[in-house]
Structure 1
Amino acid sequence: MNLSNSYTLLLGVSLCVMLLQLTVKNKQLVHILFAIFCGSMAMYAAQKLSVESLSHYHYLVGMGACATCNVSWLLARALFRNENAITRYHIALATLVAVLLVTRQGLSFYVATMPFASSVIEPVKLFIQEFVILLSSTLIVMSFWEGCRGWSHASRIDKQQRMVFLTAFGAAVTGVLLVAQALPKNVFGPDIRAWVACYAALFMILISQFLIRWRVITETYEANRLLAEQEANESAKTASNVTEDKQLVSDIGQLLYTDKSYLQTNLKVADIAHRLGVSEYRVSRVLKYHFSAENFNHFVNTLRIEHAKTLLADEEKAHWSVLVIGIESGFASVGPFTRAFKKTIGCTPGQYRKHCLKSDQPLPT
């Protein structure tokens, strides 16, 4: 396979992997960064393939290859950091490198189209090239550091993923910067570094895709495991609450129905909670969910009115006034008793008594 075919392979794989990121349903930052990186690698391959066909215009194509080591550094941060992986400072540094790369390609195009300006442009281009080399070397070291950072606190699977990244990244960088330079060109040809760089880029694309997929699967599994544990804990807690509530339902029923505590004037939730030695919240919750009570006062008044109906229908207590009936039923005065009775039954206590004593049948409620 000649070098042109290798670049064609790199171009095809880069585009395919880039488009593959579009199929991800729940896209994360790492997918976006990797798509940008693959797109840049595709432009790098396209530039190399268009040197002869486009002449000096291939420099314009090369402007798209501005997201290489800078984005690979951001990608490493997104892979191995959970919080504050990418901030505006990191984006600013990556953008600076991209701008410098685009500027260098633009200056190369300008010199190619206007050779007379080379004496002015070349020093600037050389300065930019050296500055890019400095920044790129720094970003390569920082990318490697992202794989090492937090190693002692990483899980077993996380360490395995970091080891794959460090090994692959280290092999690619060593191959391009050291091995390719050390190999004799008279044996391997003058394009040996271009060969190594092409396959190093291809290798990193495939390894990065593998790592991203691996980490997403791991994170999904971990999230599902934590959710299952949380649901199990909630179920256990709910079961415990149900057991406790059953006892509390029985205690409240004993207190209200058997002991008739509702006959106590100004009875409050706090009084029930104090007698049973539980919180007011638990008493209110049991009344709502087990006794279908709208609220505590409404529930107690319902019990009081049922008691008052019994007294009003009793002929032996026909001489008792409505005030006495209300007080005996737990109301503090005749006003609240009459209002609550009429709202619930639909008539006043006096009308109810008159009907019961006259027909010996209570009013339908």
Structure 2
Amino acid sequence: MSAALPSTLLDAALRGVAIALLLLLALVLGRDRPRLPAARASVALTLGLCVQVIGSTPLFEALVPRLWQAPLVAVSVGNAVLFWVFVQALFHDDFALRPLHVAAWVAVAALAAFNCAVVAGSASVLAPISMGLQRAVPLVFAVLAALAAASHWREDLVERRRRLRVFIVVTGIGYSLGMLAVRLASPHGRLSGLSATVDVAMLLAIVAVVAWRMVRLAGSDLFPAAGVPAAMPVVVLEDAPPPEALPSPDPEPDPAEDRLAESLQHAMAVDRAYRSEDLSIASLATRLSAPEYRLRRLINQRLGHRNFNAFVNGFRLAEAMAALADPGKRDLPVLTIALTAGFQSIGPFNRAFKAATGLTPTEFRRQKLAES
């Protein structure tokens, strides 16, 4: 009994600190951008982890009836879904919560609650199937989170946010899979005293690093700043004169950066590099003979863009708008205009156009031609 007391006190202390840090993160994340979907997803995950820290306490699992544990187990298993949603929100500034996300969380939470309250410890023929599905949840959503991170990581132009995202995704996936393996190897899926303490210690270490790094991040580095538009692209059409060089807001301009800004403006506005379907930050940097990190910094800090695809689509939309407003191109199909501007299909073009103007391309054309 006396030997177990220090370990119990250590476990309780670690859980207390973890919960305090998670609540602090929830406060920080939700304070500045309470209406932003990314902030809401972050707050939901941190609060879900608080429930997980409480519900995975060895004494709680051993002494509290399973029926009472069911809600906490439901939230804990549902955190795998929340982590997937959280990663998508982190990597997409225009992320929006969809019915699919809610349905996935409800299905997983209901399955976990049912298993805890009814199936666990029973001789039901459904037990192997039901419990197997629950054990697959962390693996499935860890893979989905990794795919979401890998497919959009390079588009992020905010360097410090990119590094934080990589840490969160790698450690989050590693923690999820590691603890899944430990639970699979434990009797009845319960953690022993030592493994439970290691579990909360690992979670605390991850949360502590994230909290420390987020304190050093400006709010606009992590989430989009409300009401601050990025620089509007200018596209040279037909025989128009070339655009002026991009202005530098720095009191002491960097000549090398000025040259890169002029080259970028010429490549995008005059040479129309944005028309290339496979244009990436790496290929554009190669085209400009510039290091990728310098091009990222220029587009982010000087032009105000946080996402490379959004930057490129700005030029594509500018060309499409000019073509749709041109009376001489009134008979040109919208699809042709979209493909010429660099969009790969009509669907993404229509969505981007509606988001930028509030009108469909056809409505925009009709309005502009009527004004002319």
TM norm structure 2: 0.47
Structure with the larger RCO, 1 or 2 (CA within 8 Å, 6+ apart): 2
Greater helix share, 1 or 2?
A: 1
TM norm structure 1: 0.48
